[in-house]
Structures are given as structure tokens and as C-alpha cells.
């Protein structure tokens, strides 16, 4: 059994204790080495909500340092977002920045945050999802992620969920070597991992789940993919170590 680093998981505002309990139970039951958490709640969070979410993640990482690491959740629309990032990285010792759906990730409001992440030498996890139905107003897709990666070749980006629809997301970011992808989320099509390996190689694929959603769904995808044990190790943890530590 190799190490497993889950690069993409959450605790949700309003149910912190339940999510924490389930995530730790999953770590113990499924031998997950480390889970990187960000806190989420509303689509367009204000300053207080962001502070609360990041503080809860910080508390969780203090309570469970062996299993839990933090990503600092930032809403680029809020005028204190650079301070939020500073606090997250310098005071809470978080190891990456998380962007969700408050703005497209290539909105100019995001640029100063990316520049700060380059200074801190930390990765940026970007929710990316191309949807046939229910696309949110400012929900990033692979194309937005690709544009940001083009503008900032020194930054390290993680495009979440394979871009939602892998056939849209992966081609969008294919030529940008500074974009990794995670397999998190509830899509468990048999061919998505094989397709992604064929398109961008195995070294840019990270293991993620979106817990407190399912874990085994994503684990099963890696176990069933047509890849070697060595490639599985890359996806389960070795690639994550590179993204996290440069």
C-alpha cells in the first residue's frame, strides 16, 4: 500500500464537526496519509465567512497535524483578499490557495493573488467545471485556467475535477506544463483517467476526492485505470509532493 495524498477536500460551513469526524474516520479506515482541506459555504462569501472558514481549517490542521493540511480559501472580490492569503500562509501555515466560483480565475482581481502565490512558492487550486447544465455565472472552466496559466508560467496551478468534463478541461490546459489536474469529484466515468493519461501524461495528475463527498469513488478510478503500479504511486502522492513543494 503506497502513501495517499488527497489534494482536494473540504469541510463545509455549518457542518464542520460532522465533516471533520468523517474525514478523520476515512483517513484511518482507508489509509489516507494526508488530506488538504479548504472550507467552503456560499458561492460569494463575504469577509467574515471567509475568515470563519479558514479559521476552521486551521483549527482542524492543528487538531490533526498528521492527517490534515490546509489550503487558504480566498474570494478575490473582497478587498482584503491579499491579507486573507497572508494570514493563511504566514499565520495558519497553509500550503496552497483555493479559488472557487466567486470570480473566473482569469479575472484581473485574481492577478495580485497569483503573484503573491509565486512569491510564497505555493500552488493554486482552482475549481474548474464545464457543465452542460447549471453553470454558475462566474464558474471557471478549463479555458479560464489555461489563460491564467499562460499569463503566469511561474505559478503552479491545479485544475480541479479534470475540468469537470475531462474532454473539455484536459485539452484546454494540455500545453501548459504549469497546470496539474486533480481527479476529485463525483464523476466516475471509467475512461476519464485513461484519457487524461493519454493526453497529458501521468506526471501531471493528482489524487483528490472532494471529501466529505466520497473517497472510494475516486480511489476506485485510479485502481481500475490502465496504468502501472509506479504510475499509480505518482498519482497517489509523488506528483502532489512536487506540486506542493516545487
* Binding of residue 178 to other proteins (CB under 8 A): no
Q: Is 217 in the site for other proteins (CB under 8 A)?
A: yes
Task: Report which of 211, 208, 161 is spatially closest to residue 10, judged by C-alpha positions.
Answer: 211
In which order are the strands placed within the sheet that holds 68-70? Answer: 5-12, 34-40, 68-70
Task: Indicate whether 35 belongs to the interface with other proteins (CB under 8 A).
Answer: no
Question: Residue 214 CB, nearest distance to other proteins (Å)?
Answer: 6
CA torsion sign, 72 to 238 to 18 to 64? negative
29 binds other proteins (CB under 8 A): yes
CB of 136 to other proteins, least distance (A): 12
Smaller CB distance to other proteins: residue 111 or 167?
Answer: 167
- Whether residue 36 contacts residue 96, with contact meaning beta carbons closer than 8 Å, is answered with yes
Residue 112 and residue 85 in contact, taking contact as beta carbons nearer than 8 Å:
no
Which CB, 50 or 126, lies closer to other proteins? 126
Least gap, CB of 107 to other proteins (angstroms):
23
- 236 forms part of the interface with other proteins (CB under 8 A): no
Told to check if 212 binds other proteins by CB under 8 A, we report yes
Q: Which of 33, 60, 155, 176 is nearest to 99 (CA)?
A: 155
Residue among 32, 211, 240, 243 that touches other proteins (CB under 8 A): 211
Ranges within 183-202 binding other proteins (CB under 8 A): 186-191, 194-195
User: Distance between CA 92 and CA 79 in Å, rounded?
Assistant: 20
Instruction: Rule CB under 8 A: say whether 223 interacts with other proteins.
Output: yes
Q: How far apart are CA 117 and CA 121, in angstroms?
A: 6
DSSP string, 26-46: HHHHHT--EEEEEEE--SS--
Q: Which residues bind other proteins (CB under 8 A)?
A: 22-23, 25-26, 29-30, 129, 131-134, 164-165, 167, 186-191, 194-195, 211-221, 223-224, 226
Amino acid at each position: 500500500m503506497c502513501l495517499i495524498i488527497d489534494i482536494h477536500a473540504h469541510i463545509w460551513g455549518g457542518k464542520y464537526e460532522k465533516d471533520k469526524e468523517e474525514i478523520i474516520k476515512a483517513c484511518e479506515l482507508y489509509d489516507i496519509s494526508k488530506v488538504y482541506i479548504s472550507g467552503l459555504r456560499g458561492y460569494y462569501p463575504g469577509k467574515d465567512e471567509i475568515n470563519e472558514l479558514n479559521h476552521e481549517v486551521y483549527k482542524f490542521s492543528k487538531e490533526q497535524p498528521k492527517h490534515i493540511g490546509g489550503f487558504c480559501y480566498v474570494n478575490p472580490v473582497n478587498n482584503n483578499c491579499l491579507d486573507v492569503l497572508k494570514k493563511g500562509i504566514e499565520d495558519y501555515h497553509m500550503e496552497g490557495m483555493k479559488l472557487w466560483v466567486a470570480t473566473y480565475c482569469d479575472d484581473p482581481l485574481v492577478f495580485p493573488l497569483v503573484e503573491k502565490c509565486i512569491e510564497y512558492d505555493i500552488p493554486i487550486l482552482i475549481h474548474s467545471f464545464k457543465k452542460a447544465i447549471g453553470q454558475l455565472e462566474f464558474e471557471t472552466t478549463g479555458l479560464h485556467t489555461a489563460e491564467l496559466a499562460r499569463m503566469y508560467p511561474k505559478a503552479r496551478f491545479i485544475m480541479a475535477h479534470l475540468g469537470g468534463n475531462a474532454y473539455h478541461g484536459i485539452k484546454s490546459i494540455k500545453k501548459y506544463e504549469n497546470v496539474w489536474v486533480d481527479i476529485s469529484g463525483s464523476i466516475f466515468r471509467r475512461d476519464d483517467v485513461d484519457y487524461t493519461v493519454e493526453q497529458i501524461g501521468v506526471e501531471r495528475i493528482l489524487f483528490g476526492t472532494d471529501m466529505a463527498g466520497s473517497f472510494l469513488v475516486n480511489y476506485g478510478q485510479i485502481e481500475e485505470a490502465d496504468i502501472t503500479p509506479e504510475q499509480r504511486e505518482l498519482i497517489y502522492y509523488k506528483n502532489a509532493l512536487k506540486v506542493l513543494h516545487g
